[in-house]
Structure 1
Amino acid sequence: MTPRILISLLLLAAPLTLPAMAQDGPARPDGKTLYAKNCAACHQANGRGIPGAFPALAGNDFLAGAPVEVATVLLKGRGGMPDFSASLDDAEMAEVLSYARSSWGNRSGAVSTQEVLAQRNALQLPPASRSRFGNQH
């Protein structure tokens, strides 16, 4: 078999094996999906909350404030809100915060994974464990 034929055969066989190797695992959820799964039950899909029970995120001045402050709420909880430090990793927290800060008329900037990680470290919290019982509802 000539080298040219061998190379042609290898190139023909490559598409059969490469896709399985090229996969990076499941796609990470976006901020909207994370919000729907973790936040909407209380704060509602429209961000308006439930008066007297769960605060609105739409037009919320605190949410529009410093990224470190809003990240702290997800990392430690606040009032009746549970912490999500064990169930959401830093990238997921950044995604959901960025989504909320730019939805329902909110016009605040994105929160970066590095900002959430820095605050997690400042609060001396361990990385997310992915436990389905991680957030303390």
Structure 2
Amino acid sequence: MEFFNNHKSLFIATAALFLILTFFVAIMPALNNQKDNAPLPNAVPLSAAAQKGKALYIANGCVACHTQQVRNIDMDKMFGSRPSVSADYADIKRQDIWRNTATLMGTERTGPDLINVGNRQPSQDWNLVHLYNPRTVVSESIMPAYPWLFILKEYPTMDDVVVAVPEEFLKDKSKKVVATEDALNLVAYLQSLKQTEMPTGTNFPEFLYKRNVKSAAVASSGGEGPSKVIAADGVALYATNCQACHQQNGKGLPGAFPSLAGSKVVLDENPEIFVDIIMNGYNARANEGFGPMPAVGTMANLTADEITAIMNHEKTSWGNDAKTVTVEEIQKLIDKVKK
């Protein structure tokens, strides 16, 4: 019983037991996880700017509202091309000797998931104006603005990155909004968030609970009860996949994102170019100041039904009065332009 009356012996025994348990319960499993879960072969390490941007992402508490994990359910399909796997997080290391790693997987989606936002929204212009004031591109957004990441200049230099902020969001219309190095680093981090393609021949989990969405053409044929099919909702699909840039009114943002109202591409009776842009992206108007459009249809795995619904919504909205398209012709064009 003398052992239990000696506080030094008790402390040493307790500390030794704690260290032994820590080694077997925490350290050994962690080392084993690092051995078993290597990064995917095509994974790209963060650049120096993206590393600084990640620190800003953490410092500003972005993880409180945004996740970086695509769950294995169909409702997450809009955020990534596949469900997340452990290899997606295998290359995350300690930030420094004092700070542990931050996977930033998150637990809440007050805002959209960001694990593949670098593909969904690659435009630096969009990301900068969104950080300056999210309401400029998403009118109903509840995300806070980050104006301290920008400075106002009456005469920007050639090296300055000027942000195309609409006039109604400027307090001093005589000055231009210029992105600071912190803003550019944060955008570099956001642009680096891209799901790595799985190696050829490697299987990964399919999305569960797939939607049973049929074409609008079939839905119009009628029918009651369980056999009746549901048409894809063009308005909802546009809001999910297109509205952030082209806006609810279809007019885009001057100097940043082109208008769809009166667009030659949208109104063209031959929809091939339209389908090609949706499936493969578009960057032919960079000389006009417009940011690149990502390959929305491919990245979001949109079906021919869904793309048809989006195109017909755009062709018949905001004063547009173009000939609508059918699922059958869009499916043929998707197969033709697929890269």
Asked if TM exceeds 0.5, the reply is: yes
**Distance in 2, Cα, partners of 1:78 & 1:94:** 19
Equivalent residue in structure 1 for 2:298, among 77, 85, 91 = 85
Number of equivalent positions: 104
Residue matched to 2:258: 55
Equivalent positions of 1:60-75 (< 5 A) are 60-65=263-268, 66-75=270-279
Which range is displaced more, 82-91 or 102-111?
A: 82-91
Q: CA deviation at 1:23?
A: 4.2
TM-score, scaled to structure 2? 0.29
CA contact (8 A) 2:282 2:293 kept: yes
Other-structure match for 2:335: 121
Q: Report 1:32-43 matches (<5 A).
A: 32-43=235-246
Counterpart Cα distance in 1 of 2:338 and 2:239: 28
- Mapped partners of 1:62, 1:96: distance in 2: 14
* Aligned mates of 2:265, 2:275 — CA distance in 1: 11
**Aligned residue number for residue 108 of structure 1:** 322
Q: Deviations over 1:29-88 (max 9, x none)?
A: 411111111111100000000111110001112211121111111111111111122421
Cα distance in 2 for residues equivalent to 1:28 and 1:106: 21
Q: Which has the larger radius of gyration?
A: 2
* Residue 99 (structure 1) aligns with: 313
Label 1:113 to 1:29 Cα distance change in 2 as closer, same or farther (>3 A): closer
TM-score of the pair, normalised by structure 1: 0.68
3-state SS of paired residue (1:81): coil
What SS does structure 2 have at the residue aligned with 1:52?
A: coil
Q: 1:61 to 1:124 in 2, by over 3 A?
A: closer
Shift of 1:28: 5.0
In 1: Cα distance, 2:231 partner to 2:306 partner: 8
The one-letter code matched in structure 2 to 1:51 is: P
- Counterpart CA distance in 2 for 1:59 and 1:121 is 27
Whole-angstrom distance in 2 between the partners of 1:115 and 1:85: 17
Match of 1:74, SS? helix
Q: Which amino acid counterpart does residue 307 of structure 2 have in structure 1?
A: M
Moved segments of 4+, more than 3 Å:
26-29
Distance 2:337 2:331 in 1: 10
Q: Over residues 82-115 of structure 1, what are the superposed CA-to-partner deviations in whole Å (9 max), with x where a residue is unaligned?
A: 1122421111001000100110000101121122
1:68 and 1:115 in contact (8 A); partners too: no
- The alpha carbon displacement at 1:124 in A equals 3.9
Aligned residues of 1:75 and 1:120 also touching (Cα < 8 A): yes
Instruction: Give the distance between the partners of 2:338 and 2:294, measured in 1 at CA.
Output: 17
Amino acid at match of 1:81: M
RMSD: 2.0
Gaps of 5+ in 2: 1-224, 284-291
